[in-house]
Amino acid sequence: MVPEDFIVGQIDEDLALWEASTNVCTVHRTGDGWVADWPNEDNPPLPEVTIAWLLWHIEWWWTDTISRVNGTQPVPPEAHPWSGGTSGIVAIKQTWDKILATAHHDGLVDWLMPEPQPLWFVASWVNFELTKNLAEINQLKMRRANLSVQSS
């Protein structure tokens, strides 16, 4: 079983855009596609995020990392629109898998750390970030499901 089967494949737009509170970061449809909020980390409390925002974050994180691994310009968060569903994650995962299958894992990547890091380190960090985001998605899915049960 792959993540798209038990996590990503169970998300529809209604679930993705569900807001757990009134203080959230989410995505908004504009004339140019879906645009993500960016939290103001200097203004507590930090907002909760929607599943859509987490999906966007995974897409952006992988897109930015792939750009850096390929030696091209980093992708700032505000420059990355959300795909509007789960297809973006499936596509970017396929690209990432190809990179990991063919790249030199000890090769250095000019990444988010002050000094370039080996690709194996970057891949480990990305895996950790993805795991964290998928856990957050599942927490939101359970929270919404439990609210539905309570109101029945």
Per-residue pLDDT of the chain (152 residues; tens, 9 = 90+): 445 556 677 788 999 999 999 999 999 999 989 999 988 888 888 999 999 999 999 999 999 999 999 999 999 999 999 998 888 888 999 999 999 999 999 999 998 888 999 999 999 999 999 889 989 999 999 999 888 776 65
What confidence score (pLDDT) does residue 152 get?
Answer: 59
> Which amino acid does the sequence have at 31?
G
User: What pTM was estimated for this model as a whole?
Assistant: 0.89
Could you tell me the domains of the chain? 3-150 (1.20.120)
Give the DSSP letter string of 35-50.
Answer: EE----TTSSSPPEE-
Give the DSSP letter string of 20-81.
Answer: SSSSEE-EEEETTEEEE----TTSSSPPEE-HHHHHHHHHHHHHHHHHHHTTS----GGG--
Pairing of strands 33-36, 27-30: antiparallel
The residues, any chain, with a CB within 8 Å of residue 25's CB and separated by 6 or more, are 36, 37, 38, 39, 47, 48, 49, 50, 53
The closest of 121, 138, 130, 141 to 92, measured between CA atoms, is 130
The residues, any chain, with a CB within 8 Å of residue 28's CB and separated by 6 or more, are 34, 35, 37
